[in-house]
Chains A and B, each alone.
Chain A
């Protein structure tokens, strides 16, 4: 069974940093592209970042470029999101999502971890 489990969320002050993790199991992690998607309270879904299966290709949304860093450790079956210079508008539930197949859809999602940026 495919499982994605996020961790690392919490309350952080504006300007602070946080590192999210996503532990993957039930599939060959190193073969799949991965993404982070976030959802602000009461709002819609916003794609945040993408990383290829090898880690060689990375994309970011303009809203987080220069502040967030996506990475992965295929030996540990884990995906990460380092978030620096956090702002109030980064407050959201953060989901990791697997990109399945050649159509780049997000076929499996974690349960999400809440990040709250507030003083």
Chain B
């Protein structure tokens, strides 16, 4: 199985900050990498697919990059509604494993 490792596990940031979350796959997944946002008590929401494609309706302050084994999710200017937990997921092969999550908290 492909292991997905996110870093950091949590971070504290202020409104307006630029935030970067990284995700590393245990083997190459080309660009089969997705990012999800989850708020407490809610279902996850797809933000980015195919490493860098923005899902419809997602604000442009979210962006993704990377290929192979190393990927990044960037929030260019953190907004109050962005405080949440973010998960990466590989969809290259089954099982479609998730990273352990990164909790973005208010500083």
Contact = CB atoms under 8 A, between A and B. Distances in A.
Interface string A49-67: 0100000000101100000
Interface in B1-54: 1, 32, 34, 36, 38, 42-46, 49-50, 53
B49 A50 contact: no
Contacts of A61: 95
Contact of B94 (A44, A45, A50): A50
B67 interface: no
Contact of A106 (B1, B46, B50, B53): B46
Contacts, number: 60
Nearest to B56: A107
Interface in A37-52: 37, 44-47, 50
Contacts of B43: 95, 109-112
Q: Which of A47, A59, A111 has the most CB of B within 10 A?
A: A47
B44 A106 contact: yes
B95 A103 contact: no
Contact of B96 (A47, A62, A111, A112): A47
Interface residues of A, number: 21
B95 A47 contact: yes
B interface, how many residues as a size bin?
Answer: 20 to 34
6 shortest A-B CB distances, which residue pairs? A104-B91, A109-B43, A105-B49, A105-B34, A45-B98, A59-B94
A91 interface: no
Q: Which of A37, A61, A104 has the most CB of B within 10 A?
A: A104
A26 interface: no
Given A44-B87, A45-B87, A45-B101, A106 B34 contact: yes
B74 interface: no
A47 B45 contact: no
A71 interface: no
B83 to A, nearest CB: 17
